[in-house]
């Protein structure tokens, strides 16, 4: 009998916000050298302890005078004053301005005794031992009095001020050597799971290993929120090891964040460690993604357990944890930006949880901003990368209609629809074209998905192959031929499609890909030649479908397949033999109502420059 536990009653998102806000992360004050203070937040008030400047100083190059000696002076009748000497910046004056005398001064120089004004050099003419003054000045003119910039005792900066180069300059002028700042909360980051491998280490695909996404991504989020991330070694699903790592992090950090091992199964042990050694405050939230989130304290240190899937972990962090981290670091909440958009397609949702739905944006042909769901699942790292923001759907919303206006909470105030949005087949030639298109976004989902996206009014551009029907709502603006066939490993002898029948492990592509369709069409032709049914021939081939253009070839290179369906260029890239089976046409199709979009026009120009544009009526 399983001892698997089900989630307790799910907390509301509002309760999660309240519990995290009450964790009291960080706090206190620390002093840092001014040179290291940029970007930090002042914890206390800073007052001036001296006047700036601390002396009356010349505000420009010229002559220090008694203003009364220049009364009535002008171009026709200048005042002639005896030249008594000179004072330059950084010098102690050794002369006095007596009646009817002047002293040469440079900008920033101490105003010599007796002077109360400065005549700018452009309004004077110097003689041997005298100077002609061709303008009258008033007392204080062209002089910065002591304390004019900052007076001693002035409150110059208050707590909560984020120190930028301007504040560094002011504090330098005040002679401040160190400043009191809000300590950056130290955040311990622990990724859990036996399947995780640090980026850069080799992967064992057959053992189900994957690279650790969450440690680096959450650490970057912590740093952006003003915290100091501290990554700990990955820990497997072992209760004793997990308890040891979490205790170490709790002793050394102001907040501990883990990812993974939060669901209520026998393998997920974090909640048990928390209950036995700390305090569980909340476990399970009525939000999607992020249901298994857990909050508590470990040895008195605030703790949040994030779900293991990257989209879930990063969404919970951004929505619920980052705001409290910014508060703890003394940073103001970032500027929020929202945009109104229309749903490109209907979206049904019936689970009764608040949903934070990632969406991408695209400008329609009539100027409307259209939002389309971006959801490859919580385990897909590209879901948030392909999205521009979140549509926050309350728990009682079960359906969003096509054309319905929604509010999109942008990931950044700088977020905006891409210059051109393409969906469709992957191709090395296409990648080269896209490299020269700033602001382009391309979703490599396969030719079938590209055609469907164009028909639904989402994509500006679909990239399809001749095995997929070109959308009637589009215009072909370019294309090229590519050679496809079989990428063959060293362990088998394959000269053609017929050699796949039998004990050969074949990797192909799923039905979204035009290249996969070309393979299936070739199998159908082989069946006709053998006077067999297509089903019989297909069943005789030990094939597995993958979901990426190079995935079959990569499986061959890794030894996980004998043969893969792919392009000649892919075979060369992975260093494997290639058996050609034919060519297929790749077409770039633009939505008819978006041909005039700037980004689309730049794409068409780029295709023309590469010799890949569609032939015109005047072409031979």
Is 266 a residue whose pLDDT tops 50?
Answer: no
Q: Supply the pLDDT for residue 533.
A: 94
Q: Supply the pLDDT for residue 436.
A: 87
Quote the percentage of the chain above a pLDDT of 90.
75
When pLDDT is averaged across residues 30-47 and rounded to a whole number, the result is 94
How confident is residue 580, by pLDDT bands cut at 50, 70 and 90?
very high
Q: Supply the pLDDT for residue 620.
A: 42
Q: Supply the pLDDT for residue 126.
A: 92
Q: Supply the pLDDT for residue 396.
A: 87
Contact 354, 286 (CB under 8 A): yes
How confident is residue 260, by pLDDT bands cut at 50, 70 and 90?
confident
Is 614 a residue whose pLDDT tops 90?
Answer: no
Q: Classify each residue of 42-70 as buried b or exposed e, where b means 16 or more C-beta atoms within 10 Å of its C-beta.
A: bbeebebeebbbeebbbbbbbbbbbbebb
Is 457 a residue whose pLDDT tops 70?
Answer: yes
How confident is residue 101, by pLDDT bands cut at 50, 70 and 90?
very high
Is 219 a residue whose pLDDT tops 60?
Answer: yes
Q: Supply the pLDDT for residue 616.
A: 47
How confident is residue 295, by pLDDT bands cut at 50, 70 and 90?
very high
How confident is residue 538, by pLDDT bands cut at 50, 70 and 90?
very high
Question: pLDDT digits over 200-211, tens only?
Answer: 999 888 888 889
Q: Supply the pLDDT for residue 265.
A: 58
| Residues in Cβ contact with 328 at an 8 Å cutoff, skipping those fewer than 6 apart | 25, 26, 27, 182, 185, 226, 227, 254, 255
Contact 259, 309 (CB under 8 A): no
Q: Supply the pLDDT for residue 463.
A: 96
How confident is residue 8, by pLDDT bands cut at 50, 70 and 90?
low
Q: Supply the pLDDT for residue 400.
A: 92
How confident is residue 1, by pLDDT bands cut at 50, 70 and 90?
very low
Q: Supply the pLDDT for residue 534.
A: 93
Is 148 a residue whose pLDDT tops 80?
Answer: yes
How confident is residue 262, by pLDDT bands cut at 50, 70 and 90?
low
Question: pLDDT digits over 224-250, tens only?
Answer: 999 999 999 988 878 888 889 999 999
When pLDDT is averaged across residues 116-133 and rounded to a whole number, the result is 95
How confident is residue 365, by pLDDT bands cut at 50, 70 and 90?
confident
Q: Supply the pLDDT for residue 381.
A: 66
Is 351 a residue whose pLDDT tops 80?
Answer: no
Mean pLDDT, the chain, whole residue set: 90
Pairing of strands 101-105, 62-65: antiparallel
Least confident range from 414-423, 465-474, 568-577: namely 465-474
When pLDDT is averaged across residues 180-201 and rounded to a whole number, the result is 93
Determine the Cα–Cα distance for residues 484 and 486; give it in Å rounded to an integer: 7
Determine the Cα–Cα distance for residues 544 and 231; give it in Å rounded to an integer: 38
Q: What is the pTM of this model?
A: 0.80
Q: Supply the pLDDT for residue 557.
A: 94
Which domains are present in the chain?
13-25+185-328 (3.40.980.10), 30-52+149-181 (3.90.105.10), 57-144 (2.170.190.11), 338-417 (2.40.340.10), 418-620 (3.40.190.290)
Q: Supply the pLDDT for residue 52.
A: 93
Q: Supply the pLDDT for residue 268.
A: 66
φ, ψ (nearest 5 deg) of residue 156: -95, -35
Task: Name, of 131-135, 290-294, 432-436, 616-620, the range with top average pLDDT.
Answer: 131-135
Determine the Cα–Cα distance for residues 426 and 509; give it in Å rounded to an integer: 12
Question: pLDDT digits over 48-80, tens only?
Answer: 999 999 999 999 999 999 999 999 999 999 999
When pLDDT is averaged across residues 461-486 and rounded to a whole number, the result is 91
How many residues are listed for the chain in this entry?
620
Q: Supply the pLDDT for residue 506.
A: 96
Tokens of 12: 């509301």
**Farthest CA pair distance, the chain:** 121
How confident is residue 253, by pLDDT bands cut at 50, 70 and 90?
very high
| Residues in Cβ contact with 514 at an 8 Å cutoff, skipping those fewer than 6 apart | 425, 446, 447, 448, 464, 465, 466, 467, 468, 584, 586
Q: Supply the pLDDT for residue 478.
A: 95
Is 619 a residue whose pLDDT tops 50?
Answer: no
How confident is residue 349, by pLDDT bands cut at 50, 70 and 90?
confident
């Amino acid at each position: 009998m399983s001892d698997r536990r089900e989630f307790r009653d799910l907390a509301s998102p509002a309760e999660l916000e309240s519990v995290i806000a009450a964790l009291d992360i960080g706090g206190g004050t620390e002093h840092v050298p001014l040179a290291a203070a940029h970007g930090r937040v002042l914890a206390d008030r800073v007052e001036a302890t001296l006047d700036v400047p601390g002396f009356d100083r010349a505000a420009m190059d010229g002559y220090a005078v008694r203003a009364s000696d220049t009364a009535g002076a002008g171009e026709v009748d200048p005042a002639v004053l005896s030249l008594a000497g000179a004072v330059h910046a950084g010098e102690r004056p050794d002369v006095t301005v007596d009646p009817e005398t002047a002293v040469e001064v440079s900008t920033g120089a101490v105003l010599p005794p007796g002077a109360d004004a400065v005549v700018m050099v452009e309004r004077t003419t110097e003689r041997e031992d005298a100077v002609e003054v061709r303008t009258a000045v008033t007392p204080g003119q062209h002089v910065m009095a002591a304390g004019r910039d900052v007076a001693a005792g002035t409150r110059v900066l208050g707590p909560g001020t984020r120190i930028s180069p301007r504040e560094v300059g002011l504090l330098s002028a005040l002679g401040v050597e160190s400043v009191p700042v809000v300590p950056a909360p130290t955040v311990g980051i622990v990724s859990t799971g036996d399947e995780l491998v640090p980026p850069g280490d080799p992967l064992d695909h057959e053992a189900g290993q994957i690279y650790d996404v969450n440690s680096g991504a959450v650490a970057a989020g912590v740093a952006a929120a003003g915290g100091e991330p501290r990554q700990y070694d990955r820990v497997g699903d072992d209760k004793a090891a997990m308890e040891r790592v979490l205790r170490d992090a709790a002793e050394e950090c102001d907040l501990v964040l883990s990812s993974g091992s939060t669901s209520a199964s026998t393998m997920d042990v974090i909640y048990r460690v928390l209950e036995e050694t700390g305090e569980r405050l909340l476990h399970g939230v009525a939000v999607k993604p992020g249901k298994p989130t857990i909050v508590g304290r470990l040895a008195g240190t605030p703790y949040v357990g994030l779900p293991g899937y990257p989209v879930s972990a990063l969404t919970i962090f951004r929505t619920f944890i980052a705001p409290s981290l910014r508060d703890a670091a003394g940073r103001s909440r970032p500027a929020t930006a929202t945009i109104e958009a229309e749903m490109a397609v209907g979206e049904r949702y019936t689970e009764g949880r608040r949903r934070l739905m990632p969406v991408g944006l695209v400008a329609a042909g009539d100027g409307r901003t259209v939002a389309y769901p971006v959801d490859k699942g919580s385990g897909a790292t590209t879901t948030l990368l392909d999205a521009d923001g979140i549509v926050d759907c309350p728990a009682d919303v079960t359906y969003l209609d096509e054309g319905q206006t929604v509010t999109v909470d942008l990931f950044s105030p700088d977020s905006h629809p891409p210059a051109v949005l393409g969906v469709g087949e992957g191709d090395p030639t296409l990648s080269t074209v896209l490299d020269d298109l700033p602001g382009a976004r391309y979703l490599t989902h396969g030719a079938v998905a590209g055609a469907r996206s164009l028909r639904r009014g989402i994509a500006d551009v679909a990239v399809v192959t001749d095995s997929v029907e070109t959308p009637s709502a589009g215009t072909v603006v370019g294309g090229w031929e590519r050679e496809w066939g079989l990428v063959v490993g060293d362990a088998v002898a394959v000269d053609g499609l017929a050699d796949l029948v039998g004990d050969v492990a074949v990797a192909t592509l799923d039905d979204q890909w035009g290249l996969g369709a070309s393979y299936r069409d070739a199998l159908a032709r082989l069946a006709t030649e053998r006077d067999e049914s297509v089903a019989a021939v297909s069943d005789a081939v030990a094939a597995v479908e993958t979901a990426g253009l190079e995935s079959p070839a990569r499986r061959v290179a890794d030894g996980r397949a004998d043969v893969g369906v792919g392009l000649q260029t892919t075979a060369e890239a992975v260093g494997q033999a290639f058996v050609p089976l034919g060519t297929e046409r790749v077409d770039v199709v633009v939505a008819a109502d978006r041909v005039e979009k700037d980004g689309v026009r730049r794409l068409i120009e780029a295709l023309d420059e590469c010799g890949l544009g569609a032939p015109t009526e005047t072409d031979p």
